[in-house]
Structure 1
């Protein structure tokens, strides 16, 4: 089994969906008739990405919005505060049917679509913007802050005056003999200070401690508690943190058990989309209807645009060959749909590829009626947890690829919040922690992340004559093929292809020449 690709070359000067430039985008592409998961893994590690069967690579130093491949480390991932809010929001909805009171905006996915050379457009990857409650407007926020500061200053002045008056009285009365100490009570102003007619207020913490002491004394009727005190020791009122008190893991937050009377039931099913499994075929129409509603409501597509054929071409068809090696994950490698079933109906679908080293996120679409659940963020966290689950089955699968990170596009920067994560250097194809890249990206859209000026692309094409060509139903090295070609542009095209895919892929994949 070998990959068969048809290189389409450079396409420049077309519309960019990220910055809305009419002719700023530039990329190279190829049509993949078939592709092994090993070859695609190597290609995405060189900055390529698929959309349907069209595989493209942005020309990073030319395109208006450089797209850097980003990967997350699921095994080291810790959900942030905002991630936990989304998971808790889902849990409350499932248990009690609670809907967040905040006006949660829809989470727009990546509306930019990669134009294929055939004239069709191809869906790129998902964009989920973290959906938190709306914050106060800037003007209102500033005015509230200034009011608080004024009150604090006034309170401090009054407190300092009372303190000075109290000290002055004590100094005057304290000039006599020490044995004649006089206590002076300064009467608080109306509305200030404690109400002496009522018992002193106790902190909740102190009340809890007292209850704990009483409980321990009841459990130690033989005077064990007193014996501790006699020895100058105090029994620990708060035992050392047990495992249950440790921060909850991602799995604990996602898979928390629900009560029997829970309002809703959520189930996530992984079905193979290419070749389509029986489960995929059985749910195709329902899944398509969710996609159609998503495109019409979220992306404002006219009803005749999200057709069945378009949906099939770009979210169901895949060049990846299904593989089920004995040492691989139970579900095998290839392309899948991760379906989110709520109370027996599909509300969202995550399109993913399972590769030798990673779970690669392709796209997400969902029922707009459930936007309040922040399904973009929720699905990303579920996919990270899924990658961790697959790692248990095959240790080499340990990454989660989130597509492209675009620092110059505000709506695409959210991917940097899933830490730890790396960005791919566009020149040497080594992974660099995102923290080391951000300062450079603030100064320039295009950056070489590898700080070693002597470093080069180790996987570059060094022997293009060894590149494999599929010509007239025969497979041959490029060195043999080019002897029969008289077109001077042919060599330039093949050399460009070889430099982009690298030596290893050029020797394994078959370059179709007509």
Structure 2
């Protein structure tokens, strides 16, 4: 990373434009997917945070931004409010399934892969740049920069949540006709003579009734000094509101004592690689290779070690630490899921100043029935909540892109509360409002304020920073050297996409 006076670090990128279409991994349109692209030589975590808050996303060192108003399947940036997240019934089912497996050692019979996270379906991501010099990559066509997309696996639709329905009592299923009218009045109170205790309303939990009896006995004792022959029973106290069980309780329940298996999640820094990452590299790569062959039907030679490194190990993000940041620091990491001493899944994540960003998830095909895509997402949300206790502003979990036009990719909207990024104003809007618009149109401006605009809109392209012959200068100064006449439109487009703030911090490489 380039450092100037005062130890200031800079992000360095090369911009590629993005006029050519490439194959869509969702609707299979051969030339329907469009995105802008940049090669990032190095990047600060704050700059990447600012970029993903403008719709950008990385694949290795390649950073891209889909053209939402042009691409066939618009991909909207989505984030979940981790501290407020409550698992749904389908999420609880996944966690309980894992708990049962760890307890008794038996894999579920059904082979549903669960909900994949972002890149389990490769996110219809653009082809990654090759290992050639970035300046050579820039001269290539966009279709030569991007890696061919694997086919998306079929994704089981998540079942709708249904309310619990009490089973019918076999003793009352054959009632006399006249009893039907009596049933209609039970809402007002129990009918004398019916039920185990006609003095109490129906559908009360036993523990609530026990609390009520204890309270009444205590009140009777308090009145013992008065006229004990007169007891003034207090009206039944309303049942206490049951607090929902937090996510962490479900996760800790998946690792009980004296269980058949032992599951451990280890966080290892992938860039720069830590000793723990290096020691487990081959084991992790072998799981990735099996995953790509089984899930994406890749031939054995396609998921090569070099491709694995470029795609999931190389990262432009520099490791950073801050006094008010998380103890593990910021940057790129792998969360490894070790089952009985061997890796069965790996979640690739970035820890940024305001969020944990999910990059990819791969797992051993033998454990597909454990819904590891969903399970890892829930673990990453819990991890975000853990980091938020250390760094209060780190409170979001970014799930990558939400694709409403592809029904099997709508599962990310179930991690709520969540927001989608407005593609025009870059304001965050609750997903419930956005879905109503996306039901009618593929592309939508979510911000309902007609007067709202991009708060970081480009005001002066001359203030964009460029790196020319290892010297940092504003684009206006670069132009005065007679170098800017041929690329002004390109620099203008780049600065529009990253916004004025990023344009004034990030160095755009000029040959």
Matches of 2:348 and 2:180, distance apart in 1: 67
Is the CA contact (8 Å cut-off) linking 1:360 and 1:403 kept in structure 2? yes
Is the CA contact (8 Å cut-off) linking 1:290 and 1:367 kept in structure 2? yes
SS in 1 for 2:273: coil
Q: CA deviation at 1:205?
A: 8.5
Matches of 1:241 and 1:439, distance apart in 2: 35
Higher mean C-alpha displacement, 302-311 vs 406-415: 406-415
Q: Where does structure 1 lack aligned partners over 5 or more consecutive residues?
A: 136-154, 165-199
Is the CA contact (8 Å cut-off) linking 2:465 and 2:475 kept in structure 1? yes
Q: CA deviation at 1:116?
A: 3.9
- Relative to the length of structure 1, the TM-score reads 0.79
**Corresponding residue of 1:115:** 127
Is the CA contact (8 Å cut-off) linking 1:127 and 1:412 kept in structure 2? no
RMSD: 3.5
Q: Say yes or no: does 1:263 pair with 2:247.
A: no
Q: Of residues 63, 69, 76 in structure 2, which corresponds to 1:55? A: 63
Matches of 2:388 and 2:148, distance apart in 1: 28
**What are the superposed Cα offsets for residues 357-407 of structure 1, whole Å, 9 maximum, x if unpaired?**
000000100011111111111111111111110011011111111100111
Q: Say yes or no: does 1:443 pair with 2:440.
A: yes
Residues 116, 94 of structure 1: alpha-carbon distance in 2 compared, 3 angstrom cutoff = closer
**Corresponding residue of 2:191:** none
Q: Of residues 79, 82, 86 in structure 2, which corresponds to 1:71? A: 79
Matches of 1:507 and 1:207, distance apart in 2: 62
Is the CA contact (8 Å cut-off) linking 1:352 and 1:363 kept in structure 2? yes
Is the CA contact (8 Å cut-off) linking 1:12 and 1:24 kept in structure 2? no
Q: Say yes or no: does 1:473 pair with 2:481.
A: no
**What are the superposed Cα offsets for residues 197-235 of structure 1, whole Å, 9 maximum, x if unpaired?**
xxx9979989979x979x98xx99x99999999514389
Q: CA deviation at 1:482?
A: 1.4
Larger Rg belongs to:
1
Residues 207, 461 of structure 1: alpha-carbon distance in 2 compared, 3 angstrom cutoff = closer
Q: Of residues 41, 48, 52 in structure 1, which corresponds to 2:49? A: 41
Q: Of residues 69, 74, 84 in structure 1, which corresponds to 2:92? A: 84
What is the correspondence of 1:30-429 to structure 2 with a 5 Å cutoff? 30-105=38-113, 107=115, 109-111=120-122, 112-116=124-128, 118=137, 119=144, 121=146, 159-160=176-177, 231-233=231-233, 246-256=243-253, 258-429=255-426
**Corresponding residue of 1:186:** none
Paired residues in the alignment total: 451
SS in 2 for 1:12: coil
Q: Where does structure 2 lack aligned partners over 5 or more consecutive residues?
A: 1-8, 130-136, 138-143, 162-172, 182-193
Residues 413, 206 of structure 1: alpha-carbon distance in 2 compared, 3 angstrom cutoff = closer
Is the CA contact (8 Å cut-off) linking 1:38 and 1:356 kept in structure 2? yes
Matches of 2:278 and 2:80, distance apart in 1: 32
Matches of 2:461 and 2:370, distance apart in 1: 51
- Relative to the length of structure 2, the TM-score reads 0.80
Structure with higher helix content? 1
Residues 159, 330 of structure 1: alpha-carbon distance in 2 compared, 3 angstrom cutoff = same
Residues 306, 202 of structure 1: alpha-carbon distance in 2 compared, 3 angstrom cutoff = same
SS in 2 for 1:505: helix
Residues 453, 228 of structure 1: alpha-carbon distance in 2 compared, 3 angstrom cutoff = farther
Matches of 1:315 and 1:473, distance apart in 2: 29
Residues 406, 259 of structure 1: alpha-carbon distance in 2 compared, 3 angstrom cutoff = closer
Matches of 1:74 and 1:128, distance apart in 2: 28
SS in 2 for 1:451: coil
Matches of 2:85 and 2:204, distance apart in 1: 37
